[in-house]
Chains A and B, each alone.
Chain A
Amino acid sequence: AQSVTQLGSHVSVSEGALVLLRCNYSSSVPPYLFWYVQYPNQGLQLLLKYTSAATLVKGINGFEAEFKKSETSFHLTKPSAHMSDAAEYFCAVSGSGSARQLTFGSGTQLTVLP
Chain B
Amino acid sequence: DTGVSQNPRHKITKRGQNVTFRCDPISEHNRLYWYRQTLGQGPEFLTYFQNEAQLEKSRLLSDRFSAERPKGSFSTLEIQRTEQGDSAMYLCASSQGTGGRNEQFFGPGTRLTVL
1/0 contact string of B77-115 vs chain A (CB within 8 Å):
000000000000001010100111111111111010000
Contacts of A51 in B (CB 8 A): 101
Q: Interface residue count for B (Cβ, 8 Å)? A: 29
Contacts of B28 in A (CB 8 A): none
Which among B48, B106, B109, B111 is the interface contact of A99 at CB below 8 angstroms? Answer: B48
Which of the segments A14-22, A62-70, A77-85, A101-109 contacts the partner chain?
A101-109
Contacts of A106 in B (CB 8 A): 40-42
Interface residues on A, range: 20 to 34
User: Could you tell me the distance between the alpha carbons of A114 and B41 in the complex, rounded to whole angstroms?
Assistant: 27
A102→B109 contact, CB < 8 A: no
Using known A-B contacts A43-B91, A45-B106, determine if residue A96 contacts B100 with beta carbons closer than 8 Å.
Answer: yes
| B19 interfacial by beta-carbon distance below 8 Å | no
Contacts of A46 in B (CB 8 A): 103-105
| B21 interfacial by beta-carbon distance below 8 Å | no
Contacts of A113 in B (CB 8 A): none
Tell me which residues from 23 to 67 in chain A have a Cβ below 8 Å from any Cβ of chain B: 32, 34, 36, 41-46, 49, 51-52
A107→B41 contact, CB < 8 A: yes
B108→A42 contact, CB < 8 A: yes
| B45 interfacial by beta-carbon distance below 8 Å | yes
| B33 interfacial by beta-carbon distance below 8 Å | yes
Chain A interfacial positions (CB closer than 8 Å to B): 4, 9, 32, 34, 36, 41-46, 49, 51-52, 90, 92, 94-107
